[in-house]
Structure 1
Amino acid sequence: MSAHGNIIVITIITMLLCGLADSETYTVGDNGRWEFGVGDWPNGKSFNSGDVLVFNYDPSVHNVVIVSQENYDSGTASGTTLNSGHDSVTLSSETSYYICGVNAHCQGGMKMAVTAS
């Protein structure tokens, strides 16, 4: 590979690493827990694509379901279900919707929408 080619590869790697370094990790909930009333938690925060949300909760009581906007609005727990009690989700540049799929927890306020740029 030529010196010019090496410079291009190094530049691309540096750009990728800088992008990763800019990502933030957020623990969901003002007290660090995914629970009832968490819907306002994203307010005032600026999320970016690549940021990570960490959901901490008791898996015997709650879960996290990644849903469509339609299922978010209706409280339908149809989507990717996470249930470890300590789940990490990497944001993409769009709005992501999360609900608790246990019983009527979503209707009780255990849901959240996060928009990343």
Structure 2
Amino acid sequence: MGKMSTHDSIIVIAIVTMLLCGFAEAETYTVEDKAKWSDWPNGKSFKSGDILIFNYDPSVHNVVIVSKENYNSCTISGTILNSGHDNVTLTSGTNYFICGAEGHCKGGMKMAITAT
């Protein structure tokens, strides 16, 4: 066998890159309101671009995307989602979510998810 040409090397690199990109596809996770949100992420790994689907009864709950400070204090200030079927794409770093219904955040309907 002879040496690989520059053209062949570029093709091999392109194929390897395409294969690796396939492994990096975003995952979709469904968050149900049957348990405390604070427990839901346990045992899961997340990456930037993953999608959370929040399914809930909009007459009882909502989803508020908040800052770390508002997460810690359960302060309802941020982007409020209330369709009952909300899709949120995770960004790199820690993403904070609370339920804005009275008393729900303090009762455990809050979660912090770190995406790599």
Go from structure 1 to structure 2 and tell me whether the alpha carbon gap of 1:99 and 1:22 turns closer, same or farther (over 3 Å shift).
same
- What residue identity is the alignment partner of 2:28? T
Match of 1:27 among 12, 30, 47: 30
SS at match of 1:84: coil
Q: Does 1:116 align with 2:78?
A: no
- Give 5+ residue unaligned stretches, structure 2: 1-9
Query: Which secondary structure state, in structure 1, belongs to the residue aligned with residue 43 of structure 2?
Result: coil
- Residues in 1 aligned to 2:22 and 2:89: alpha-carbon distance in whole angstroms: 14
Instruction: Summarize deviations over 1:45-100 as a string: whole Å, max 9, x none.
Output: 11000000000000000000000010000000100000000000001111000000
Sequence identity, in percent? 70
Moved over 6 A (4+): none
Amino acid at match of 1:105: H
Contiguous gaps of at least 5 residues in structure 1: 1-6
Higher Rg: 2
Q: 1:22 to 1:51 in 2, by over 3 A?
A: same
CA root-mean-square deviation: 2.3
Q: Which residue of 2 aligns with 1:37?
A: 36
Between the aligned partners of 1:35 and 1:106, the Cα distance in structure 2 is 14
Counterpart for residue 101 of structure 1? 100
| TM superposition score normalised by structure 1 | 0.78
- Number of equivalent positions: 103
AA at the equivalent of 2:104: H
Q: Distance in 2 between matches of 1:60 and 1:86?
A: 12
Task: Give the residue type in structure 2 aligned to 1:23.
Answer: A
1:1-117 equivalences in 2 (<5 Å): 18=21, 22-28=25-31, 33-117=32-116
Q: 1:78 to 1:21 in 2, by over 3 A?
A: same
User: How far did 1:20 drift?
Assistant: 9.2
Classify 1:55/1:116 alpha carbon distance in 2 versus 1 (closer, same or farther; 3 Å): same
- AA in 2 matched with 1:107: K
